[in-house]
Amino acid sequence: MKFIKYEEVINQLSFSEAIQVMKSCFYDYEQGQISQSERRVECLPDGSTQNIFAMMPAYLGSKRFFGAKMITAFPGNRTQGLPSHQGVILLFESTNGYPVAAIDANAVTWIRTAAVSALATDYLAKADAMNLTLIGAGQQASSHLAAIKSVRPLRRVFVYDLDQDRSQAFVAQMRQTYPELKFFHCSTVEAAVCDSEIICTLTSSKEPFLKGEWIAPGTHVNAIGTFTPTTRELTSHLMEGSRIYVDDYGAALRESGDLLLPIQEGVITTDAIKGTLGELVTEKTVGRSSDLEITVFNAVGLAIEDLCCAEYLFQKTGGR
């Protein structure tokens, strides 16, 4: 069995490649050529109520591969200098069930999540959007910046994190990496979003913090951080006023508090969901219809994304 470690994943899977892999992935999923089972997400019985173990299986077809991502999310890990997400993707050949590769899941998750957001941004954000906000300056912030920069002509980036030291350090590092961009370290969410056109919420917050009244008409929001029925990042009022898209109807309506909580409150119904990323990619649905609409892409993360990246990496590094 081949092992593809963190550095090799980072070196072999660029953001522009990952966006193309995700485009094919959502196309195939929408056409029914690939499938996934409901993932199992368990809160570990360690008394913390926040440490998660998830098992995410997917099948890419009888002549391709299948397998699963097994991943942990320990939000408190940063205090020990460890990533919040760690795990492995196991890849098997569909023709004979042979296990061909074990791939670092933290690196794949870092890249594929941002690539999916960038793909959604490409379909939903205004064509000339150049101002990006990152709320949450953790691992996903740098990958979202890199991926979204490859689909829109970014000029200004606003950053907010509850941990102000973390967002300051992030901004200092990104100024070195992207001297052509202007970075703003913001001390409130409102200051970070009021001049923006693309907002990514990338936090482990349990309470909604992004309000509709702070956001300019025409803004696109990628809501990525939460994936349990009782946690959310966006207020019901923002959801009510937005054109909403999801990564998958079933997964979103099982797991996304951003959707389920406003539905429970009677503020929106499932009709508020205008489509999936697969429907956008296959042109079964349309994106924004004016430069004034607020669009929201709400993603809980799918096993097909991990397995498609794993297959790509396995083949790119020479296969068996």
Question: Which tokens sit at 49?
Answer: 């109520």
Least distance between ligand NAD and beta carbon 287 (Å)? 20
Nearer to ligand NAD, 93 or 305 (CB): 305
Least distance between ligand NAD and beta carbon 302 (Å)? 8
Cα–Cα dist 231/34, whole Å = 29
Angle at 125 between CA 210 and CA 259, to 5 degrees: 45
Partners of residue 56 on adjacent β-strands? 69
Residue nearest to ligand NAD (CB): 138
Residues contacting residue 111 through CB under 8 Å, at least 6 positions apart: 9, 10, 13, 15, 18, 143, 147, 309
Cα–Cα dist 159/141, whole Å = 9
Question: Which tokens sit at 29?
Answer: 């999923």
Q: Is 166 in the site for ligand NAD (CB under 6 A)?
A: yes
Least distance between ligand NAD and beta carbon 112 (Å)? 8
Q: 145 near 155, Cβ under 8 Å?
A: no
Which 8-state DSSP code applies to residue 54?
A: E
Q: Is 140 in the site for ligand NAD (CB under 6 A)?
A: yes
Least distance between ligand NAD and beta carbon 155 (Å)? 23
Look at residue 234 and give its three-state secondary structure: strand
Question: Which tokens sit at 129?
Answer: 């959007």
Nearer to ligand NAD, 205 or 282 (CB): 205
Contacting residue, 162, 169, 191, 194, with ligand NAD by CB under 6 A: 162
Residues contacting residue 152 through CB under 8 Å, at least 6 positions apart: 121, 122, 125, 129, 130, 132, 198
> Which range, of 10-18, 22-30, 131-139, 306-314, touches ligand NAD by CB under 6 A?
131-139
Cα–Cα dist 144/158, whole Å = 13
Within residues 56-75, the interface with ligand NAD by CB under 6 A covers 73, 75
Contact mark string toward ligand NAD, 178..217, x via CB under 6 A: ------------------------xxxx---x--------
Q: Is 151 in the site for ligand NAD (CB under 6 A)?
A: no
Least distance between ligand NAD and beta carbon 177 (Å)? 17
Q: Site for ligand NAD (CB under 6 A): how many residues?
A: 29
CA 218 remoteness from chain centre: 21
> Which range, of 56-64, 123-131, 176-184, 221-229, touches ligand NAD by CB under 6 A?
221-229
Nearer to ligand NAD, 84 or 235 (CB): 84
Q: 60 near 153, Cβ under 8 Å?
A: no
Least distance between ligand NAD and beta carbon 144 (Å)? 9
Q: Is 137 in the site for ligand NAD (CB under 6 A)?
A: yes
Q: Is 104 in the site for ligand NAD (CB under 6 A)?
A: no
Residues contacting residue 308 through CB under 8 Å, at least 6 positions apart: 21, 22, 24, 25, 28, 34, 60
Q: Is 225 in the site for ligand NAD (CB under 6 A)?
A: yes
Least distance between ligand NAD and beta carbon 196 (Å)? 15
Which 8-state DSSP code applies to residue 127?
A: T
Contacting residue, 183, 227, 297, 314, with ligand NAD by CB under 6 A: 227
Which residues contact ligand NAD (rule: CB under 6 A)? 73, 75, 78, 84-85, 109, 113, 135-140, 160-163, 166, 202-205, 209, 224-225, 227, 299-301
